[in-house]
Structures are given as structure tokens and as C-alpha cells.
Amino acid sequence: MATTKGKTAPLKVIPLGGLDGIGKNMTVIECGPDMMLVDAGLMFPDDSQPGIDLVLPDYTYVLENEDKLRGIIITHGHEDHTGALPYLLQDLNNKVPIFSSKLTLGFIEGKLSEFRIRAPKFREVKGGSHVNLGCLSVDFFSMTHSIPGALGIFVKSPQGTVMHTGDFKLDQTPIDGVTPDYAAITRFGKSGVDLLLSDSTNATIPGFTKSEAEVGHSLYDAIKNAEGRVFVASFSSHIHRLQQICDAAKACGRKIVVTGRSMLTNTRVARELGYLKIDENDLVDAYELNGIPENKVVVMCTGSQGEPLSALSRMANGEHKTLSIHDGDTVIISATPVPGNEKAVQQVVNSLAKLGCDVYDKHRCLVHVSGHGSQEELKLMLAMARPTYFMPVHGEAVHLRAHAKLGEKMGIPRDNIFVIDNGDSLEMRAGKVKRGRAVESGVVYVDGLRIGDTNPIVLRDRQKLANDGMVTVVATMSTKRKKIEAIEVSGRGVSFTIDDEFTSDASDSIMKMIEKGSFNFTSSGTDALRKAVRDSLSNFIWNRTHTRPMIIPVVMEV
């Protein structure tokens, strides 16, 4: 029965995240009674989400169809593809197999242990592996990215085929020697790719992305010419970059110190699995630096995105428990700010400059290259895959549309290119693709220990507090005399002074409004009084200061 349904039901492709920014990637591929999930990533909050720790895609659709879920495929080990996995697994009732490369599973295992998720059903795969998930047949092929073990997938179903590239660049000289599997991509293209989902991150950038190998020369020169200690901030999962930092440090006769929780965890996992090659003699604990000359030390740390609690930020502010940065040190920021983090990164750079550090970033020399393919690589992918239909993924609207234009240039008819939003769906029948019905989508906020849909009103109130502060007004009401006896005003985070004159004028304004109205000075009438007090004080403050702080009215009965 299941097989018959799988043959008649359409193949659905439903992105739940990843089409409105660089992050929280999650895509459902479903056919009849069988469903698979590709990636489960997170995104870090922006300035419009104060107090939020993490942003996840809304995976309600996955939970509602859990009985169909045959497996979760993780294309590589970056947070924007793995970070939502612990939360999803906690919400699933059954253990679902997780398919990915050895390094990615190693990173995921460390993450799941923090959440005390035991005995996940890991299934290691690599380029050339094949798995069947119900009526969905999946072939994996190797891709090159800024992390080892990156994979693309080719999915066969009764209704047609889908290729998902994962994140990629066509690097001819990767650090680990694992180039993209051009033969597999071309073979799938010849056999027929009905729908291609392809990485759009650098779709606006002409030409080719430089090879990761070119960064090593710049890192070596910067470390060799440094007079004091060298601090290199990078993504902790960028194992190729970490390998080049270690190689440059060793060539310059320097010992390596690792600091930052995720950096310590990921370097340990990568070394244990053989992806990061560092001799034990070249590693030094941060507590054991005494006696080692400053020109013989390289520190690998987190903080390339200006995160306030990262090792680099804490060292720049003198808050790190073991290390500090001072005049004469060299700091290399070996990463590009993720959109939205530019301001935070610049603040850290300015703090370092004030300390007298020599700061290197990608604008000064080639200490970073992207892990994503630029326009010519994206066109090569389209030429090899030769898809009938095309859906750009992984990017903001500008990237998706730029990638769609590249698809048109490569000969794909405009009507066969789908630029859609999270929650929209595509349906395939007999190799033909059209738009389907949208499903529930959106974001889920992680706010401290709470996970769920943080009310938009809460975020609005936090923004208001951040912008204009808060004023509390306490009105004392006499139920016997049927009047307001006294008014007290206090503020926090406001830009004006609340002195006796201000309180007196504000009280007069509030009393005049109450006198004009008709109020019930009993317990049942306090709601109307509170509203009148709030409105009156809000108008008074606006007329006097042109600010709108949050007003918290309190009516006390005496």
C-alpha cells in the first residue's frame, strides 16, 4: 500500500528555513508516506531581536508528519546547518537516523552531549554512499567547502529527481585534497536532474572564489613578521583554516594555544578523527605560557564575529581569565562578518586598535577567502547538473534572485526557475515541477531556557525599552474621598531628568485629565484609571521631551 501511494503522490520540496538570510537552513523532501529532512540549522539574532539567544526555523511541519520521517541528512558541520538539531531531536518522539560525514557527526555528538541527548542513531556516510529512505533513494557526493566532510545529495523518487548541492565552492587545491566529485555531478546531470537546489551565498560576486590554499601564504607572512604574540580569530569549525594557522605557526617556530569553548571542542574532535594534524609538542595550555617568549606564541581563538562573550572580545576587554591582549600583539581576524555582525566586529577592531595591536583582516591582506562559490562556479554547477527546473537556496532575497538570473543565462527558461519563500513548496509529478500549497513556517526563538514563539509584543517592548527607557507612575487612590491623592514618577534609562519640577508638572497634567473624565474610584474602576494615567503621562512626556518611553502605571488603593 505504501509503495503504491509513493508512486502516485507528488514529490514535495519544502524549505522551512534558509531562504531569508544566511542561516537556519532546513528543507523537507517528501513523497507519499516517506519524508527526509536536509539540514537543521540556526541563525544568530540581529539588533531587532534583543534578548534572544538563537533563532531556529519553525519545524512544526516536521513534528506534525513525524510518522513519515525516515532520516535527517546533514550536509556539513556548520552551525547554520546543525544548530537546530538538538532542539528538533528533543521534540521528536522517536529516534530518527542522522546521516552525515565522520567529522560532522563528531561535531554533532559533542553538541548533543551538552543537551544530554543520548545514543543518537548516527549513520556515517561519505562521497559515493547510497541509502534508501522509503521510496526516496539518496546518493551522496563529495563537495568542497570551508570545512571537511561537506556533501551534496542526489535524490531519486517515483516522481523524479532532485539534486541538492549543499554549501560549496569549486576549489581545485583544497587543503585536504578532496575536490568536488565532478564525475558524480556530471553523471547525475546526464542521467537527468529534474530539480536543482544550489547554494546562492555568493551569487552577486563575479568570477571565481579564491582557493583556500592561498590564505596560507598570507597567514605565514603575517605571523612571521609579527614582533609579539599573534592572536588568530576564526570560526572554530573552519578546520582547513585552523590547519593552515597551525602549519604557519610551526613554520615560524611558534607554539600554539587554543582558547574559546567551541574552539577547544572542535579542535579536539578534529584531531581525534584525523582531520586536524597538530603535533602534541606544538600545543601549549594557556595556563603554561609563563617562560615562553611572546614572539614564540600563536593563539587560536573564537570571536571573528564580534560575539560579546567570545574569547577575542573578552581578551580585548581585559575580561579573559588566562590571556590578555596588549600593545605589540598582532591580531588576525580570519573571517568575513556574517550580515548583521559588521558593527560588532568593528567595535572589537577599534578596541584592539586602542590597545596598540596590529590588526589584520581581509581588507588588509588575504587572511580569509569565502567557502562559497562565486558566479562562474555557480554557472559551472548549472552546466554540469543540466537541471530542467532550478530553485536557488541558501541566501537572502538579493542572492536568490541573482542566482536565478544566472540560471536564465545558462539557458533555463524563466518559468522553470522558482524563487520562493520559507514555507512555500514545490510539487513534482512525472518530472514536472509546479508550486504547491504553503505550510506553516516562521521562526522559533531560544530565549534563555525558553524555546518557542516569543510574542512579537515582547520584542517590541524590549526595543522600546532599549530606545527610550521606562517610566513608572504610581497613583494613590482614596476610595473614601473618590479621588487621586498623590502621584509619584520614577524612570530608568530615560534621557531626561525626573526631578521635583518634572513630577509636579506631570502630576498636574494627569490630574487635569482625570478631573475631565468620569471614573469609578473603586477596585473595579482601576483599569480605566490606569489607562488614563498612562495616556496622560505619555502625552506629557512626548510634548516635553519628544521621546516615548514605556509607561508602567500603578494605581494603589488606600
199 flagged as catalytic:
yes
358 flagged as catalytic:
no
Strands across the sheet containing 550-557: 483-492, 470-478, 550-557
Exposed / middle / buried, residue 47 (Cβ in 10 Å: 0-12, 13-18, 19+): exposed
Which residues, listed in sequence order, are joined to residue 142 by a DSSP beta bridge? 151
Alpha carbons within 13 A on the beta-carbon side of 521: 17
Q: Calculate ∠ Cα 222-248-283, nearest 5°.
A: 120
Q: Calculate ∠ Cα 152-154-157, nearest 5°.
A: 150
Query: Nearest to residue 270, comparing CAs of 245, 251, 289?
Result: 245
Q: Indicate left, alpha or beta for 349 from its phi (over 0: left) and psi (-120 to 50: alpha).
A: alpha
Residue type, 126: K
Query: Nearest to residue 26, comparing CAs of 394, 396, 451?
Result: 394
Measured distance CA(120)–CA(394) in Å, rounded: 27
Residue of 78, 164, 368, 372 marked catalytic:
372
Measured distance CA(332)–CA(335) in Å, rounded: 9
Residue carrying C-alpha cell 531581536: 49
Grid coordinates representing 285 are: 595550555
Measured distance CA(399)–CA(396) in Å, rounded: 5
Grid coordinates representing 510 are: 494627569
Residue of 199, 358, 361, 424 marked catalytic:
199
Q: Which residues are catalytic?
A: 199, 372
